[in-house]
Amino acid sequence: MVLVTQSDNSLSASSAEPMYPDLPSHPILGDLAALLGAALYSVYVVYMKVKVGDEDRADSQLLLG
């Protein structure tokens, strides 16, 4: 996350160059959306681990399907 944010900041600083004409005006919103998605996925994975317990009890095709 830190590397993506750093990359976005360096691109925003050099946005005057014609090489990057279509940069987003608020790249931090995309970074926050990615962080929120990662956090929600981690909550989902932990919830599934607690709910299922032993991995041998879970049908992997049903979980991934």
Domain boundaries, the chain: 2-64
pLDDT at 37: 93
**Which residues lie below 8 Å from residue 48, measured CB to CB, with a gap of 6+?**
63
Reported confidence tier of residue 38, pLDDT bands at 50, 70, 90? very high
Q: Which two tokens stand for residue 52?
A: 């299922």
Q: What is the pLDDT of residues 20-30, one digit of tens each?
A: 566 667 778 88
